[in-house]
């Protein structure tokens, strides 16, 4: 029986070993830039304003989660107690309103606490446009992806785990 208890305790400890403390405030990028804009469809980069939409979606989600945020042009470790570096790794806009939307946004983030890297994540969200998709533009559907990504990131900040895969990246 003691061996069983020891195995259970060891398992519980290993499950929580990668988790960090919940983030109560965080510095985030003013604009969440594309990591490699040259690999993303030019119309997405030029027309959809994803860098500002991602910031707005994240700011809204953080506020709803009770996490205070401050935007900085290019947040570096040490710019605050908690700093989230975030970039858009990819965005895809295939399909259309007539045949169906197939849109996707992937972001990658790194959390620093007191200047030390404590966790990374990759998050992806796919969308077919939802209700009334036939009346939505590609940029509007990509915007839906940023809203959900913001919510995913806010949840992750409540219990950040290094190497997490969020949303549809699981």
The answer to whether 138 and 103 have CB atoms below 8 angstroms apart is: yes
Q: State phi, psi for 128 to the nearest 5 degrees.
A: -100, 5
- Which stretch of 38-47, 54-63, 91-100 has the lowest confidence by average pLDDT? 91-100
State the DSSP H helix or E strand holding residue 103, giving kind and residue range, or none if neither. Answer: strand 100-113
Integer Cα distance of 11 and 8 in angstroms: 5
**Predicted local distance difference test score (pLDDT) of residue 20:** 73
| Domains by residue range for the chain, with CATH | 21-167 (3.40.50.10610)
**Predicted local distance difference test score (pLDDT) of residue 163:** 98
Q: How would residue 101 be classed by pLDDT, with cut points 50, 70 and 90?
A: low
**Mean pLDDT of the region 41-60:** 97
């Amino acid at each position: 029986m003691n061996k069983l208890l020891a195995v259970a305790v060891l398992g519980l400890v290993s499950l929580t070993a990668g988790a960090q403390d919940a983030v109560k405030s965080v510095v985030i990028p003013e604009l969440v830039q594309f990591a490699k804009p040259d690999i993303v469809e030019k119309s997405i980069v030029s027309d959809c304003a994803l860098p500002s939409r991602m910031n707005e979606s994240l700011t809204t989600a953080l506020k709803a989660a009770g996490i205070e945020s401050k935007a900085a042009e290019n947040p570096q470790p040490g710019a605050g107690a908690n700093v989230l570096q975030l970039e858009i790794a990819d965005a895809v806009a295939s399909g259309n309103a007539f045949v169906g939307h197939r849109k996707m946004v992937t972001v990658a983030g790194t959390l620093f606490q007191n200047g030390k890297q404590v966790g990374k994540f990759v998050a992806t969200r796919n969308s077919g446009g939802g209700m009334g998709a036939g009346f939505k533009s590609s940029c509007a559907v990509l915007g839906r992806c940023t809203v959900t990504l913001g919510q995913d990131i806010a949840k992750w900040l409540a219990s950040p785990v290094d190497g997490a895969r969020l949303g549809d990246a699981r």
